[in-house]
């Protein structure tokens, strides 16, 4: 009887907890190890997954299949037209391939957990199989990080302090598991047909395909090259560079982390080694970067402890009665990067062109949607998800709720980013704007942040760039008054 590893958002060989456990079990049982991946368009649609992200998954799946092939591990690819077909599909693979043990890495989100529970139920009911779900999505499993009273944390700093203490005191959290062992050669005759299966190597999307392949090359080795190069060349200047979009001072590992092509454990382990074994002291850049990965962990813990946040609810229920604007034209202008606020438009156009947006711009554009346009943060969250190559529900939801002042450590509602000041501070020379808003290319460093405010009407008209769709000061006052009203009712 053989062993099955079901891959999902963990498209890697190295440091893959369930894969490692499955490999050990196959060896002990003197059996073959087999991989499974289920293409599931209905789930993708339900979760607003960006086509460009699915394309990245498919490209990585292709690489994974090649790496598995080198270890004589076949990767069975199935398609579930409807998500409800998934339990039956897993069941049939189990029967066809004489499987006795099924492994996967546990997911964190409500729908995926429900899906996995029904697969497990079907397997345990109908065949003599054992199922093992491994903790792999977080460096420290959510159940291990608790306040003194045994509750989950709802604020980042105390969470991170406890998290660091645990990681420092219990070395197993950062232990990386080994790659699986090679299957015995006879598997190539036993399961010959499964070695011929080729997953789709792309998925249709509207962005520049070659550019996307160049910006985000697929494969574990590419992810590790990126991590190594970031740590060697950029990490020590991360503290200063991470907020200046034009400097490209961040790792851009998020697409790889979201697809599970690299693990957060591998990232933190590498950064900690470079920081001479320290998490919270030592090199400013490295420790700040580790802390950012800590935010990722935090938001993962939040969706587990407070599942309502992934079900369209605010973390702070009292903020749910805000009367949002339904101005569809404003929303469309925001989506298209045509708000007349250069820094906002630059961020949105970066997103629409390359499926990625720098963190500072994510904060500026999100704050603008919510606090200048008074549009429900959930519309923005959905739009980001539908465009991002690194779309990740916990981080996206956490980032949006932070920006909208509805979340855990949300910034106070009365703190509203001024797009002009943000632009002057974080894109002082206007280079980022020039890159993404070519209409403004000819403007000098001073004009570029606020062309409508500083140019004559005639000069402005020549640019063919939209006028600001709102007046920031009055939009801010309107938003603050509305939030105050809501809080007074709570
Ligand atoms: P680096 O600065 O190199 O950081 C390393 C890693 O740490 C990142 O890859 C990411 O996994 C994690 N990280 C960094 N900052 C954050 C943060 N603020 N919150 C959570 N994790 C963080 N991140 C996503 O991965 N997917 C999303 O869908 C997503 N949506 C966001 C939406 C909004 C409104 C905001 C404000 C932030 C969002 N983020 C999201 C967080 C952050 O913007 C990205 O993780 C970061 O820009 C990715 O670039 P990087 O890999 O170069 O990050």
pLDDT digit string, tens, across residues 213-251 = 999 999 999 999 999 999 999 999 999 899 999 999 999
The CATH class of 317-489 is mainly alpha
Q: Say whether pLDDT at 258 is over 70.
A: yes
Determine if the pTM surpasses 0.90.
Answer: yes
| Average pLDDT of the residues in 444-470 | 97
Q: 157: how many CB neighbours lie within 10 A of its CB?
A: 12
Pocket test for ligand 1, best of 250, 253, 254, 266 (most atoms within 8 A of CB): 254
Residue 294 assigned ligand-binding role: yes
Known catalytic membership, residue 324: yes
User: Which atom of ligand 1 is found nearest the CA of 366?
Assistant: 34
User: Which atom of ligand 1 is found nearest the CA of 230?
Assistant: 3
pLDDT band at 200 (very low <50, low <70, confident <90, very high): confident
| Average pLDDT of the residues in 314-337 | 95
Q: What is the pLDDT of residue 18?
A: 98
Parallel, antiparallel or unpaired: strands 2-7 and 33-39: parallel
pLDDT band at 126 (very low <50, low <70, confident <90, very high): confident
Q: Where are the domains of the chain?
A: 1-136, 138-176+209-305, 317-489
362 CA distance to ligand 1 middle (Å): 9
Q: Say whether pLDDT at 185 is over 80.
A: yes
User: Which atom of ligand 1 is found nearest the CA of 293?
Assistant: 7
Q: Say whether pLDDT at 52 is over 90.
A: yes
Q: Say whether pLDDT at 441 is over 90.
A: yes
Q: What is the pLDDT of residue 422?
A: 98
Range with lowest mean pLDDT among 198-202, 383-387, 464-468: 198-202
Residue of 292, 327, 352, 418 marked active site: 292
Mean pLDDT for the chain overall: 96
| Average pLDDT of the residues in 33-41 | 97
131 CA distance to ligand 1 middle (Å): 33
Q: Say whether pLDDT at 370 is over 70.
A: yes
Q: 51: how many CB neighbours lie within 10 A of its CB?
A: 17
Q: Hunting for tokens 């299957």 — which residue is that?
A: 183
Instruction: Give yes or no for a contact between 293 and 275, defined as CB atoms under 8 angstroms apart.
Output: no
| Average pLDDT of the residues in 337-355 | 98
HEC assignment per residue over the chain: CEEEEEECCCCCCCCCHHHHHHHHHHHHCCCCEEEEEEECHHHHHHCCCCHHHHHHHHHHHHHHHHHHHHCCCCEEEEECCCHHHHHHHHHHHHHHCCEEEEEEECCCCHHHHHHHHHHHHHHHHHCCCEEEEECCCCCCCHHHCCCCCCCCCCCHHHHHHHHHHHHHHCHHHHCCCCCCCCCCCCHHHHCHHHHCCCCCCCCCCCCCHHHHHHHCCCCHHHHHHHHHHHHHHCHHHHHHHCCCHHHCCCCCCHHHHHHCCCCHHHHHHHHHHHCCCCCCCCCHHHHHHHHHHHHHHHHHHHHHHCHHHHHCCCCCHHHHHCCCCCCHHHHHHHHHCCCCCHHHHHHHHHHHHHCCCCHHHHHHHHHHHHHHCCCCHHHHHHHHHHHCCCCCHHHHHHHHHHHCCCCCCCCCCCCCCCHHHHHHHHCCCCHHHHHHCHHHCCCCCCHHHCHHHHCCHHHHHHHCCCCCCCCHHHHHHHHHHHHHHHHHHC
Pocket test for ligand 1, best of 226, 268, 292 (most atoms within 8 A of CB): 292
Q: Would you identify the CATH topology of the domain 138-176+209-305?
A: 1.25.40
Among 3.50.40.10, 3.50.50.60, 3.65.10.10, 3.40.50.620, name the CATH number for the domain at 1-136: 3.40.50.620
Residue of 324, 352, 418, 439 marked active site: 324
C-alpha span between 41 and 49 (Å, rounded): 10
Q: Is the CB of 399 under 6 A from ligand 1?
A: yes
Task: Give tens-digit pLDDT for 93-120.
Answer: 999 999 999 999 999 999 999 999 999 9
Range with lowest mean pLDDT among 22-31, 107-116, 139-148, 404-413: 404-413
| Average pLDDT of the residues in 75-100 | 96
The share of the chain scoring above pLDDT 70, in percent, equals 99
Q: Say whether pLDDT at 413 is over 90.
A: no
Instruction: Give yes or no for a contact between 137 and 42, defined as CB atoms under 8 angstroms apart.
Output: no
Instruction: Give yes or no for a contact between 78 and 34, defined as CB atoms under 8 angstroms apart.
Output: no
Residue of 57, 104, 163, 295 marked active site: 295
Q: What is the pLDDT of residue 410?
A: 65
Task: Give tens-digit pLDDT for 271-296.
Answer: 999 999 999 999 999 999 999 999 99
Q: What is the pLDDT of residue 412?
A: 85
């Amino acid at each position: 009887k053989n062993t099955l590893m079901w891959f999902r958002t963990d498209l890697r060989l190295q440091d893959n907890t369930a894969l490692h456990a499955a490999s050990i079990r196959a060896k002990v049982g003197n059996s073959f190890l087999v991989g499974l991946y289920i293409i599931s368009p209905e789930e993708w649609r339900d979760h607003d997954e960006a086509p460009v992200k699915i394309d990245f998954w498919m490209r990585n799946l292709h690489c994974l299949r090649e790496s598995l092939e080198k270890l004589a591990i076949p990767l069975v690819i199935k398609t579930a037209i409807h998500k409800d077909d998934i339990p039956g599909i897993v069941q049939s693979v189990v029967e066809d391939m004489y499987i006795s043990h099924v492994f996967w890495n546990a997911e964190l989100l409500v729908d995926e957990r429900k899906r996995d529970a029904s697969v497990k139920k079907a397997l345990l009911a109908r065949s003599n199989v054992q199922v093992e779900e491994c903790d792999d999505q977080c460096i420290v499993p959510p159940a291990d990080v608790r306040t003194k009273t045994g509750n989950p944390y709802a604020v980042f700093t105390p969470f991170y302090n406890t998290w660091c203490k645990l990681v420092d005191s219990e070395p197993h959290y950062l232990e990386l598991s080994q790659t699986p062992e090679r299957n015995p050669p006879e598997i190539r005759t036993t399961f010959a047909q499964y070695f011929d299966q080729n997953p789709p190597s792309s998925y249709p999307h509207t962005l520049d395909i070659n550019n996307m392949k160049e910006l985000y090359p697929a494969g574990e080795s590419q992810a590790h090259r990126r991590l190594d190069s970031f740590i060697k060349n950029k990490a020590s200047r991360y503290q200063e560079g991470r907020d200046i979009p034009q400097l490209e001072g961040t790792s851009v590992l998020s697409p790889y982390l979201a697809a599970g092509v690299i693990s957060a454990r591998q990232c933190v382990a590498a950064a900690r080694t470079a920081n001479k074994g320290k998490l919270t002291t030592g090199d400013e850049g490295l420790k700040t970067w580790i802390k950012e990965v800590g935010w990722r962990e935090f938001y993962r813990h939040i969706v587990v402890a407070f599942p309502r946040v992934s079900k369209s609810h605010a973390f702070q229920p009292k903020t749910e009665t805000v009367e949002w604007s339904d101005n569809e034209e404003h929303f469309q202008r925001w989506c298209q990067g045509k708000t007349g606020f250069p820094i906002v438009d630059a961020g949105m156009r970066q997103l629409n062109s390359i499926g990625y947006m720098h963190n500072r711009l994510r904060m500026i554009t999100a704050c603008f949607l919510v606090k200048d346009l008074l549009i429900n943060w959930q519309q923005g969250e959905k739009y980001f998800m539908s465009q991002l190559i690194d779309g990740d529900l916990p981080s996206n939801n956490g980032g949006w709720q932070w920006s909208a002042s509805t979340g855990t450590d949300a910034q106070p509602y009365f703190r509203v980013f001024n797009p002009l000041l943000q632009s002057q501070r974080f894109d002082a020379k206007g280079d980022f704007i020039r890159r993404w808003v070519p209409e403004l290319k000819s403007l000098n460093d001073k004009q570029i942040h606020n062309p409508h405010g500083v140019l004559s009407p005639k000069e402005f008209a020549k640019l063919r760039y939209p006028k600001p769709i709102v007046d920031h000061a009055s939009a801010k006052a309107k938003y603050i008054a509305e939030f105050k009203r809501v809080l007074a009712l709570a």
